[in-house]
Amino acid sequence: MGFLAWDNNSYYHERLLRALPRPCERVLDVGCGKGVFAAKLAARARHVDALDVSAEMIEQARARVPGNVTCLLGDVNEVELAGYDAITSISTLHHLDLAEVLPKLGAALRPGGRLIAIALFRFDLPREAPALAGTLLTMYSRRALLLAIPAARRHRRSLDERGMPVCDPVLSVTEVRAQASAALPGARVRRLRQLRYELRWDKPYSR
């Protein structure tokens, strides 16, 4: 593992944990992978459903998570989902058709529930070329600095992406915003470091 090795997923764990509504009884983690984040969610919620389409990932997750986590093998667009206080997702939405999956996730939230997701975006070149250059420079210089700090080395130590599905993003941030707004009116999309975006939506209470 090189000095600049970095776990982009664990870097955002605390951000998502802070965004959870309180109280938080039931949480769905979409694209749970090996269950690392689902295990952290289990300390903040009464029950967590950890969903992934990969049988290999679910097998590894089941060996890691505590008893209040149920690991579910299936396609998010095909399984029945309902009654969640929060839905989280890290590095999964760019694998999916947002126009199809976002309404499904929105319907699975209870009124007042929150969807909070981190995913990759595609740079809209050449229009965003200056932003890409600045992002890459900041990302690698900051990464080198942080990894010299003991408190930040957990991101390096936790790196274990072997077997994780990989998919190049096809949507720019502008396109993500448009699709999110159409599917979930009021959704907020913001650009983050590490070539990621955050999508956040609070389900309105019924009138």
Domain ranges (residues) in the chain: 8-122+162-202
What pLDDT digit, counting tens, does each position of 23-59 carry? Answer: 999 999 999 999 999 999 999 999 999 999 999 999 9
Return d(Cα 193, Cα 196) in angstroms, integer. 6
| Euclidean distance between CA atoms 195 and 166, whole angstroms | 15
Residues β-bridged to residue 34: none
At 207, is the pLDDT very low, low, confident or very high (cuts 50, 70, 90)? low
DSSP state of 65: S
Looking at residue 181, its amino acid is S
Check if the beta carbon of residue 42 is closer than 8 Å to that of residue 69. yes
More confident site: 126 or 12: 12
User: Quick one: tokens of 200?
Assistant: 């956040």
Q: Which fold has domain 8-122+162-202?
A: Rossmann fold (3.40.50)
Q: pTM of the predicted model, to two decimals?
A: 0.82
Beta bridge partners of 196: 120
User: Quick one: pLDDT at residue 168?
Assistant: 77
Q: What is the pLDDT of residue 33?
A: 94
